[in-house]
Amino acid sequence: MKLIVAIIRPDLLNEVLEALYRIDVRGLTVSRVLGHGGETERVETYRGTTVKVNLQEKVRLEIGVSEPFVERTIKAILGTARTGEVGDGKIFVQPIERVIRIRSGEENNDALTPVPAGEVQRQV
What is the domain partition of the chain in residue ranges?
2-97
CATH class, range 2-97: alpha beta
pLDDT value of residue 36: 81
What is d(CA 115, CA 124) in angstroms, rounded to the nearest whole number?
13
pLDDT tens digits for 59-117? 999 999 999 999 999 999 999 999 999 889 999 999 999 999 998 999 998 888 665 54
Q: Which long-range contacts (CB under 8 A, 24 or more apart) does 102-110 make?
A: 108/1, 109/1, 109/66
The pTM of this model reads 0.79
Of the candidates 10, 6, 12, the one whose C-alpha atom is nearest the C-alpha of residue 28 is 6
